[in-house]
Structure formats: structure tokens, C-alpha cells
Amino acid sequence: MKYNKLGNTELDVSLLCLGTMTFGEQNNEKEAHEQLDYAIAQGINFIDTAEMYAVPPRENTQGKTEEIIGTWLSKRNNREKIILATKVAGPGMEYLRGGSHLSKNQIFKAIDSSLVRLKTDYIDLYQVHWPERKSNFFGKLGYEYSQDLGVSIQETLEAMSALVKLGKVKHIGISNETPWGTNKYIQLAKDMGLEKVVSIQNPYSLLNRIYEVGLAEISQHEDIGLLAYSPLGFGQLTGKYINKTEKNTRLGLYGDWFTRFSNIRCLNAVKEYSKIANKHKISLTHLALSFVNNQPFVTSNIIGATTMEQLKENIESININLSSEILEEINEVHLKQPNPAP
């Protein structure tokens, strides 16, 4: 396994991070614990979750993923060996605290609930899951101007910084953010002596390279590494949906929730990337994950699986290096089919 510093912290995180949003939905506790055991045995020390999970978000499964990770941590007694990341939900979840927001009061309640579910007394990386304001995340295109920004970034950052002082959180990060929002966090931290965000968790894959424009430069110059999520485009970049979408697959079950991954442009791009993989005799999964693994602005690539076979293939991508010829062919497809799943 390869490791990178988490921003400017003392933490060395594995280049592959185990994503867990299927725990409590597509994966039961036994299956989840098996995934966790295998990932750790392969050198992964970084686990990412969220108070909102499992996915798709429902009131009756909210918090279930954290609970499953908590029972595993308790049984294995290995908390100090794990770098644990979770997230506080942004606005829009009416069944969370009477309507979720990123206010100080709500953030304090959220962290305490997560600590109980995870059976720990601290979180290594606590992240804002999505912005309070209306912005471009979760596939939203265009720009909707609004003067109503909701709870200010300053209040959110002050609350997150207070959690560090209290010892409940070691470091803080953001997720689904824009260049403007990221720079706002950076500037407030400098001006007010607050905690600096050390990471940004945004989508990045062959199907969505938007991060390269604006945010990648911030990552490099401000030492805020990308934690790349959806590196396989909700499974599209395994190639399993090229001919048919099976009912028991993620897109088959939850495609209505994640329509940005099922448009015709997305499918056409996948077919082109599949041709490249076949030509060079590697799996499409390895092509897609290796592309993300080897980006200089990526701190960790968040992989997720519903079966052990998928998990093993995902982890094997750490040993794949793409030739300059393959990278040129990838960029040719990108020019023809740019960002079909933003």
C-alpha cells in the first residue's frame, strides 16, 4: 500500500480509502466487517463514513453505517490504528435534528451522536458533507444566484474549530465544495486563527474531471488534498452496465437517485474507455482507479464495494501504472466526451 500525508497534518493515510455507504443497506453487518478486515489486512488505514449513511438516505437507515463501523472497532480493539473520517450533513434532511443545518448547535449535536454510534471518543477527520448554501454539488449544473447563504461559513468553521479544541476532532475537511467555498474556508482560517481544512472530498473520475479546473490548483498550493469519491462513477466504470442494467445492482436499485450516472453521454464514454482497457489488456476497473490513484492532487481514492470480489479488484489497482500511451488515449476520449457525469 502507498501512503500520503493528509494535508499538513502528521497523519499518513493510505492512497486507497474504504468507503462505507453501502453498510446497512446493500451490505449487512457481517459482510461489512469482512470488508473492513480485508481492507486493513491489505494496508488500508483510512475509513470514510457519514452520519447520513447508509445510501440512499432514509430515516430508518440513518446512522446505521456508523453503528456497524462502531461494532467492528469495538470487537477488533484497533481504534488507534485506524484513521477515521465522518461527516456532518448539510441542509435538507428533515428527519435529522428537526431539519439539518450547519449551525454550531447542530454540529455539536451531530458529532456527539456520531461518537456514540462509532464507539469512539474522537474523530480523525470531521468533514462538512455539503455546503449550507445553494451551490453546484451532486450533479447540479448551471448557476442559481441567491443572496440567502443560510448559516455562514464562518459559523460553521468556528464550530468545527471548537471541536478540535475540545479534543473530539483532530482535523477538519470539506466535501462537495466549489473553488469559492474552499477559498472562503482558507481565508477565514487565516484571518481569524481558526482551523485550516486539510482535505476536500469531491467526485473525481474518468467521467467527471471538473476538479482539475480550479480546485486542483488550490489543492497543490494550499496543501488541501483531494479525497476522490465515486472513482468508478457509481459502478459505470466497471463496464457492467454497458449491455444491461441488472435489477440487483446499484444503478438498478437506486438509479432514480443518481441519474447523472445513467445518461447516454455517460454510457458512450464508458464504451470508449472500455475499448482502451481491452486494447491494453487491463480491466476497465483498474484503468479507472489507476487514473485517479496517480493524480498528483489526490491524497486518497475512496473505493466502495458490495462484494469481496469487487473489493479485491479495487485494491489491486494500487499496483497498476498507466503508460503515457494509455493516458493520451484517455485524454482523447475526454476531449470528445468531457465530464458526462458531473
The per-residue pLDDT for range 120-141, each reduced to its tens digit, is 999 999 999 999 998 888 887 8
Q: Is residue 241 part of a domain?
A: no
Q: pLDDT tens, 303-312?
A: 999 999 999 9
Look at residue 77 in the predicted model and tell me its pLDDT.
Answer: 97
Q: What percent of the chain has pLDDT over 70?
A: 98
* Cα three-residue angle 241-244-248, rounded to 5 degrees: 80
Q: Is residue 342 part of a domain?
A: no
Q: Is residue 97 part of a domain?
A: yes
Which is the catalytic residue, given 53, 204, 229, 241? 53
pLDDT score of 251 more than 80? no
Three cell numbers written together for 253:
436499485
145: containing domain:
3-234+295-322
Q: Is residue 46 part of a domain?
A: yes
The mean pLDDT value for 292-310 works out to: 98
Q: Is residue 340 part of a domain?
A: no
DSSP code per residue over 29-64: HHHHHHHHHHHHHTT--EEE--TT-SSS--TTTTTH
pLDDT band for position 256 (50/70/90)?
low
pLDDT score of 266 more than 70? yes
Q: State yes or no: cis peptide before 231, omega within 30 of 0.
A: no
Kindly report the CATH number assigned to the domain that includes residue 165: 3.20.20.100
Q: pLDDT tens, 153-204?
A: 999 999 999 999 999 999 999 999 999 999 999 999 999 999 999 999 999 9
Q: Is residue 40 part of a domain?
A: yes
pLDDT band for position 254 (50/70/90)?
confident
Residue 38 a catalytic site member: no
Look at residue 257 in the predicted model and tell me its pLDDT.
Answer: 67
pLDDT score of 93 more than 80? yes
Closest Cα partner for 30 from 19, 41, 38, 18?
Answer: 38
Beta-ladder partners of 200: 174, 226
pLDDT score of 250 more than 80? no
* Cα three-residue angle 188-194-200, rounded to 5 degrees: 70
Identify the helix (H) or strand (E) that includes residue 111: helix 104-118
Q: State yes or no: cis peptide before 54, omega within 30 of 0.
A: yes
Look at residue 291 in the predicted model and tell me its pLDDT.
Answer: 98
Q: Which residues contact 82 (CB under 8 A, 6 or more apart)?
A: 40, 45, 46, 47, 73, 124
pLDDT score of 247 more than 70? no
- Report how far apart the first and last C-alpha atoms of the chain are (Å, whole number): 29
Look at residue 230 in the predicted model and tell me its pLDDT.
Answer: 97
Q: How many domains does the chain have?
A: 1
pLDDT score of 116 more than 90? yes
pLDDT score of 342 more than 70? yes
Q: Is residue 276 part of a domain?
A: no
Q: Is residue 246 part of a domain?
A: no
